[in-house]
């Protein structure tokens, strides 16, 4: 059986969130272990699937005016001082399935091991399945802090990311062109691009995890709210395809919670070209 479906970026995030929580590593860590989840619009749907409420759903964001930070991240993290001390940022942390409050990366990472999980979305996905993360901190950002510790200790690294993030060149090649200190001009905060390895979960893997069916992307983009959408062919036995259709219909209409963005004149990030325009 074959079915054709279309998903907006937000609907894809919800689908990917459903699949991520089904992974064996996540289920085991929920029972006995630690899960560190970096705040993002994608991972907010993972928290939703786990029945956890959070303040704010994003850290760094890309908005029409350029690369930026969510207001909650600025308020909670004190970015005026803390952007160069990413280990002090507070991710979402679950210990044996229970949400912990106000735990810094430094504290959470000090206790993780090979049975624990680090979940981080990305900003770039290349055709080979490699993921890149934008970094707005000269100190390497939270991903620089967390990734090295997780790699050293054998912690599971899970990278939920939608096909809307697909770029046409290898992530490592793209990363050589980026860099905070290399930019002469930037729409928003200048950033670097950090290649990161882990278990990648796109819409394709999500369908396979949830139903066993095969998903094949056949187009991308759209209009009238479907900008960045992906259209998929789902194929397999009738049972798995019908199950996939049901899940896709369940995520249709998914909406993000409102994200607060700071006004440029009040933002503490000094290297943003937009702030320089109004100062």
Average pLDDT score over the chain: 91
Local confidence band at 84 (pLDDT 50, 70, 90 cut-offs): low
Q: What is the 3-class SS of the chain, one letter each residue?
A: CEEEEEECHHHHHHHHHHHHCCCHHHHHHHHCCEEEECCCHHHHHHHHHCCCCCCCCCCEEEECCEEEECHHHHHHHCHHHHCCCHHHCCCEEEECCEEECCCCHHHHHCCCCCCCEEECCCCEECCCCCEEEEECCCCCHHHHHHHHHHHHHCCEEEEECCHHHECCCCHHHHHCCCCHHHCCCCCECCCEEEEECCEEECHHHHHHHHHCCEEEEEEECCCCCCCCCEEEEEECCHHHHHHHHHHHHHHCCCCCCCCCCCCHHHCCCCCCHHHHHHC
Local confidence band at 80 (pLDDT 50, 70, 90 cut-offs): very low
- The total domain count for the chain is 1
For the ranges 8-17, 104-113, 184-193, 268-277, the one whose mean pLDDT is highest: 8-17
Answer yes or no: is pLDDT of 262 > 80.
no
Q: Could you give the angle at the alpha carbon of 81 between the alpha carbons of 78 and 83, nearest 5°?
A: 80
Percentage of the chain modeled with pLDDT above 70: 90
Q: Which helix (H) or strand (E) holds 137?
A: none
Q: Given this model, what pLDDT does residue 45 score?
A: 96
Answer yes or no: is pLDDT of 70 > 90.
no
Q: Residue 211 belongs to a domain with what CATH number?
A: 3.40.50.10470
Answer yes or no: is pLDDT of 271 > 50.
yes
Report the pLDDT averaged over residues 46-50. Answer: 96
Q: Which of 1-10, 22-31, 269-278 has the lowest mean pLDDT?
A: 269-278
- In the chain, what is the greatest distance between 2 CA atoms, to the nearest angstrom? 61
What range does the domain containing 149 cover? 2-278
């Amino acid at each position: 059986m074959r079915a054709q479906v279309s998903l907006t970026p937000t609907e894809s995030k919800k689908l990917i969130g459903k699949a991520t929580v089904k992974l064996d590593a996540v289920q085991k860590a929920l029972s006995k272990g630690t899960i560190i989840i970096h705040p993002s619009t994608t991972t907010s749907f993972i928290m939703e699937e786990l029945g956890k409420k959070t303040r704010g759903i994003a850290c760094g964001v890309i908005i029409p005016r350029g690369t930026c930070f969510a207001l909650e991240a600025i308020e909670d993290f004190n970015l005026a001082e803390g952007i160069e001390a990413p280990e002090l940022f507070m991710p979402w942390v679950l210990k044996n399935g229970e949400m912990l409050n106000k735990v810094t990366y430094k504290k959470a990472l000090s206790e993780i091991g090979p049975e624990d999980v680090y979940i981080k979305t990305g900003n770039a996905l290349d055709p080979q399945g490699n993921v890149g993360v934008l970094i707005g901190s000269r100190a390497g950002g939270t991903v620089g802090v967390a990734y090295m510790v997780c790699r050293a200790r054998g912690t599971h690294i899970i990278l939920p990311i939608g096909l809307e993030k697909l770029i046409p060149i290898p992530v490592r090649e793209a990363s050589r062109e980026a860099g905070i200190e290399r930019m002469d001009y930037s729409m928003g905060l200048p950033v670097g691009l950090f290649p990161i390895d882990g278990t990648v979960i796109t819409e394709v893997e999500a369908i396979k995890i949830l139903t066993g069916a095969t998903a094949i992307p056949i187009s991308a983009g759209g209009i009238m709210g479907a900008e960045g959408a992906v259209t998929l062919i789902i194929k397999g036995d009738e049972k798995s395809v019908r199950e996939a259709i049901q899940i896709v219909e369940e995520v249709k209409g998914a909406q993000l919670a409102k994200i607060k963005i700071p006004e440029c004149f009040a933002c503490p990030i000094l290297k943003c070209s937009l702030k320089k325009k109004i100062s």
